[in-house]
Amino acid sequence: MHAREKLRNIAIIAHVDHGKTTLVDKLLQQSGTFRDNEAVQERAMDSNDLERERGITILAKNTAINYKDFLINIVDTPGHADFGGEVERIMKMVDGVLLVVDAFEGTMPQTKFVLRKALESNLKPVVVVNKIDRPNARPAEVVDEVLDLFIELGASDEQLDFHVVYASALQGTSSLDPEKQDANMEAIYETIVNHIPHPTEDTEQPLQFLVTLMDYNEYLGRIGVGRVNRGKIRQGQSVAVMTREGGTKQARIEKLFGFNGLKRIEIEEAGAGDIIAIAGIKDINIGETVADPANPEALPVLKIDEPTLQMTFLVNNSPFAGREGKWVTSRKLRDRLFKELETDVSLRVEETDSPDAFVVSGRGELHLGILIENMRREGFELQVSKPEVIIRQIDGQKMEPIERLIIDVPEDSMGAVMESLGSRKAEMVNMINNGSGNVRLEFLIPARGLIGYRTNFLTLTRGYGIMNHAFDSYGPYLGANVGGRHEGVLVSSETGVSTLYGILSVEDRGILFVHPQTEVYEGMIVGEHTRDNDIIVNICKEKAVNNIRSANKEETVKMKTPRLHSLEQALEYLNDDEYCEITPKSVRLRKKILNKSERERAEKHRKMAEANA
pLDDT of residue 46: 39
Give CA angle at 153 (151, 156), nearest 5°: 65
Statement to judge: residues 15 and 71 lie in one domain: yes
Per-residue confidence at 61, pLDDT binned at 50, 70, 90?
Answer: low
Residue at 410 is within a domain: yes
Q: Is 57 annotated as a binding residue?
A: no
Q: CATH number for the domain including 59?
A: 3.40.50.300
Instruction: Report the C-alpha gap between 350 and 359 in whole angstroms.
Output: 5
Instruction: Report the C-alpha gap between 424 and 380 in whole angstroms.
Output: 35
Residue at 520 is within a domain: yes
Beta carbons within 8 Å of 486's beta carbon, 6+ residues apart = 532
Statement to judge: residues 169 and 99 lie in one domain: yes
Query: Which helix or strand (DSSP H or E) is residue 87 part of?
Result: helix 84-90
Q: Of 160, 195, 230, which marks where a domain is finished?
A: 195
The whole-number average pLDDT for the span 296-325 is: 83
pLDDT of residue 553: 54
- Cβ 420 vs Cβ 460: under 8 Å: yes
pLDDT of residue 41: 43
Q: Is 102 annotated as a binding residue?
A: no
Length of the chain: 613
pLDDT of residue 83: 52
41 torsion bin: left (phi>0), alpha (psi -120 to 50), beta (else): beta
CA atoms within 13 A on the CB side of 291: 18
Beta carbons within 8 Å of 543's beta carbon, 6+ residues apart = 499, 501
The whole-number average pLDDT for the span 148-175 is: 84
Give the Å distances, CA to CA, from 67 to 29, 36, 426: 11, 16, 49
Statement to judge: residues 174 and 214 lie in one domain: no
pLDDT of residue 172: 80
Give the Å distances, CA to CA, from 560 to 127, 176, 506: 50, 55, 11
Give CA angle at 64 (58, 65), nearest 5°: 125
Q: Is 130 annotated as a binding residue?
A: yes
pLDDT of residue 550: 59
17 torsion bin: left (phi>0), alpha (psi -120 to 50), beta (else): left
Give the Å distances, CA to CA, from 315 to 38, 329, 349, 582: 45, 7, 15, 10
Q: Is 282 annotated as a binding residue?
A: no
- Cβ 489 vs Cβ 523: under 8 Å: no
Please give the share of the chain, as a percent, with pLDDT higher than 90. Answer: 5
Per-residue confidence at 524, pLDDT binned at 50, 70, 90?
Answer: very high
pLDDT of residue 18: 62
Which amino acid type is present at position 405? L
Express the helix, strand and coil content of the chain in percent, nearest 5 each. 25, 30, 45
Q: Answer with the residue of higher pLDDT: 31 or 41.
A: 31
Residue at 331 is within a domain: no
Q: Is 488 annotated as a binding residue?
A: no
The whole-number average pLDDT for the span 349-361 is: 89
Q: Is 61 annotated as a binding residue?
A: no
179 torsion bin: left (phi>0), alpha (psi -120 to 50), beta (else): alpha
CA atoms within 13 A on the CB side of 394: 11
Statement to judge: residues 127 and 241 lie in one domain: no
Statement to judge: residues 150 and 34 lie in one domain: yes
Q: Is 19 annotated as a binding residue?
A: yes
Q: Is 274 annotated as a binding residue?
A: no
Q: Is 21 annotated as a binding residue?
A: yes
Which amino acid type is present at position 263? K
Statement to judge: residues 49 and 188 lie in one domain: yes
Statement to judge: residues 11 and 128 lie in one domain: yes
Q: Which of 146-160, 448-462, 489-503 has the lowest mean pLDDT?
A: 448-462
DSSP 104: T
Beta carbons within 8 Å of 602's beta carbon, 6+ residues apart = 593
State the DSSP string of 44-80: TT--SHHHHHHT---S-EEEEEEETTEEEEEEE---S
Per-residue confidence at 313, pLDDT binned at 50, 70, 90?
Answer: very high
pLDDT of residue 60: 43
Per-residue confidence at 359, pLDDT binned at 50, 70, 90?
Answer: very high
Query: Which helix or strand (DSSP H or E) is residue 23 part of?
Result: helix 20-30
pLDDT at 343 over 60: yes
Q: Is 112 annotated as a binding residue?
A: no
Residue at 579 is within a domain: no
Statement to judge: residues 435 and 538 lie in one domain: no
- What backbone phi and psi angles, to 5 degrees, belong to 165? -120, 140
Q: Lay out the sheet containing 208-217: strands in order across.
A: 248-252, 238-242, 289-291, 208-217, 221-230, 275-279, 255-260, 263-266
Residue at 379 is within a domain: no
Q: Output the 3-class SS for 528-580.
A: EECCCCCEEECCCCCCCCCCCCCCCCCCCCCCCCCCCCCHHHHHHHCCCCEEE
Per-residue confidence at 262, pLDDT binned at 50, 70, 90?
Answer: low
pLDDT at 90 over 50: yes
- Among residues 541, 478, 552, the alpha carbon closest in space to that of 507 is found at 541
pLDDT of residue 34: 47
Summarize pLDDT for 197-224 with one digit per residue, the tens.
Answer: 888 777 778 888 888 877 776 677 778 8
Statement to judge: residues 530 and 471 lie in one domain: no
pLDDT of residue 173: 81
pLDDT of residue 581: 92
Statement to judge: residues 168 and 220 lie in one domain: no
Instruction: Report the C-alpha gap between 492 and 527 in whole angstroms.
Output: 9
| Residue 275 lies in domain | 208-291
pLDDT of residue 53: 43
Q: CATH number for the domain including 218?
A: 2.40.30.10
Residue at 355 is within a domain: no
Statement to judge: residues 26 and 147 lie in one domain: yes
Q: Of 258, 291, 324, which marks where a domain is finished?
A: 291
pLDDT at 383 over 90: yes
Statement to judge: residues 153 and 58 lie in one domain: yes
Q: Of 261, 291, 321, which marks where a domain is finished?
A: 291
Three-class SS state of 204: coil
Give the Å distances, CA to CA, from 531 to 321, 563, 573: 31, 17, 16
Give how many domains the chain has, as a whole number: 4
pLDDT of residue 56: 39
The whole-number average pLDDT for the span 597-612 is: 85
Q: CATH number for the domain including 491?
A: 2.40.50.250
Strands (E), 317-396: 348-351, 357-362, 382-385, 388-389, 392-394
Beta carbons within 8 Å of 203's beta carbon, 6+ residues apart = 4, 230, 231, 232, 271, 272
Per-residue confidence at 435, pLDDT binned at 50, 70, 90?
Answer: low
pLDDT of residue 39: 41
CA atoms within 13 A on the CB side of 583: 17
pLDDT of residue 580: 92
Residue at 340 is within a domain: no
Per-residue confidence at 31, pLDDT binned at 50, 70, 90?
Answer: low
Q: What is the pTM of this model?
A: 0.70
Summarize pLDDT for 93-151 with one digit per residue, the tens.
Answer: 888 888 888 888 777 766 777 788 788 888 888 888 888 888 878 888 888 888 988 88
591 torsion bin: left (phi>0), alpha (psi -120 to 50), beta (else): beta
pLDDT at 275 over 70: yes
Residue at 99 is within a domain: yes
Q: Which of 148-152, 446-450, 547-551 has the lowest mean pLDDT?
A: 547-551
Summarize pLDDT for 557-602 with one digit per residue, the tens.
Answer: 677 888 888 888 888 888 888 899 999 988 899 998 888 888 888 8
State the DSSP string of 492-529: E-S-EE--HHHHHHHGGGEEE---TT-EE-TTBEEEEE
CA atoms within 13 A on the CB side of 345: 23
Q: Answer with the residue of higher pLDDT: 55 or 469.
A: 469
Terminal CA-to-CA distance of the chain, rounded, Å? 76
